[in-house]
Amino acid sequence: MEITTIGRYEIEQELAHGGMGIIFLARDPYIQRHVVIKVLMYNRTLEKVYRDFFQQEAEMIAALEHPCIVPIYDFGWYGEQPYIVMRHMAGGSLADRLQKEELKLTEIAHLFKRIAEALDAAHARDIIHRDVKPSNFLFDSTGEIFLSDFGIAKSTTVKDDDGTWLVGTPAYMSPEQVLGDPMDGRADVYALGIVLFRLLTGQLPFSINSVTALIKAHVETPIPDIHSVKNRVPAVWQEVVAKAMAKDPNDRYASAGELARDVAEVVSGKWYLRKL
């Protein structure tokens, strides 16, 4: 049966359909604006952990109320299925954009500033995002960037090849995340380091089909030399990426803001002055 309305919202089209839920573009007739609605799949409603994901995402983002985080407007139930109503980000995701073009260095610096502000605000409330990646960086109609999808923040469960449950996207998961060790905001800093590597080189530092081998690489494999991956990338970036992606959290940047500061200083040239 085709869904035409959810609550008061008029469904215009389905945007995405995944294992966890369906995402719709809808129209709010009360205030004449487009919104995005995430609806949990019916079969997932049978498991309390997934219902809790939705509930906690709505609660956490409402509590954060940060200008760099995609805002949630509403939360409700479509029969037995919970749904979240969010701001419509008409510019698509960073992952979408990277399929078409590279970002300029000044754009990278601006992106890191905003995403870092969002993450540091979350970390100040002891909220770990756990799934920092380009598909969760969304652009609005003016081209401004926002962080989205806190749905697995602070949760405890993606399966590896052996059937072990993990949280997050394996290509962007920190060593402590894949090992199930205690985590703090520095796990998100590690993921930001991978995003930076991807933006500078066009590649992920570890690209392996096997999930088990991929998560093992995060724990054991040294970070590739960024200059050798793409020789026109200045070698100075290796120091920044290496610090962000240090295997030991104590060797990483203490905050996303510190990483964003160094990214901005390399881009502006202030990094070299600081090193003199």
Annotate the chain with three-state secondary structure.
Answer: CCCCEECCEEEEEEEEECCCEEEEEEEECCCCEEEEEEEECHHHHHCHHHHHHHHHHHHHHHHHCCCCECCEEEEEEECCEEEEEEECCCCEEHHHHHCCCCCCHHHHHHHHHHHHHHHHHHHHCCCCCCCCCHHHEEECCCCCEEECCCCCCCCCCCECCCCCECCCCHHHCCHHHHHCCCCCCHHHHHHHHHHHHHHHHCCCCCCCCCHHHHHHHHHHCCCCCHHHHCCCCCCHHHHHHHHHCCCCHHHCCCCHHHHHHHHHHHHHCHHHHHHC
% of the chain surpassing 90 pLDDT:
58
* Residue 217 confidence (pLDDT) above 60: yes
131 in catalytic set: yes
Question: Which member of 28, 120, 131, 262 is catalytic?
Answer: 131
- Mean pLDDT on 231-248: 94
Residue written as token pair 């954009």: 97
* Rounded Cα gap, residues 117 and 113, in angstroms: 6
For each of the domains in the chain, give its residue range(s) and CATH number, in order of start. 5-87 (3.30.200.20), 92-275 (1.10.510.10)
Cα-flanking dihedrals φ and ψ of residue 116, to 5°? -65, -40
pLDDT tens digits, one per residue of 141-161: 999 999 998 755 443 344 444
Predicted pLDDT at 157: 40
**What does the pLDDT look like over 101-128, one tens digit per residue?**
999 999 999 999 999 999 999 999 888 9
Mean pLDDT computed over 249-253: 98
The confidence score (pLDDT) of residue 42 equals: 60
What is the predicted pLDDT for the residue at 126?
87
Give the residue with greater pLDDT, 260 vs 22. Answer: 260
Using an 8 Å Cβ cutoff, are 157 and 127 in contact? Answer: no
Q: What is the spatial distance between Cα 106 and Cα 83, in angstroms, rounded to a whole number?
A: 37
**Least trusted range by pLDDT, from 111-120, 151-160, 164-173, 251-260:** 151-160
Q: What pLDDT score does 244 carry?
A: 98
170 or 35, greater pLDDT = 35
Computed over every residue of the chain, the mean pLDDT equals 87
Please indicate, yes or no, whether the overall pTM of this predicted structure exceeds 0.85: yes
C-alpha 21/C-alpha 19 separation (Å) is 6
Looking at the predicted structure, is the pLDDT value of residue 83 above 80? yes
Residue 211: phi and psi, rounded to 5, are: -65, -40
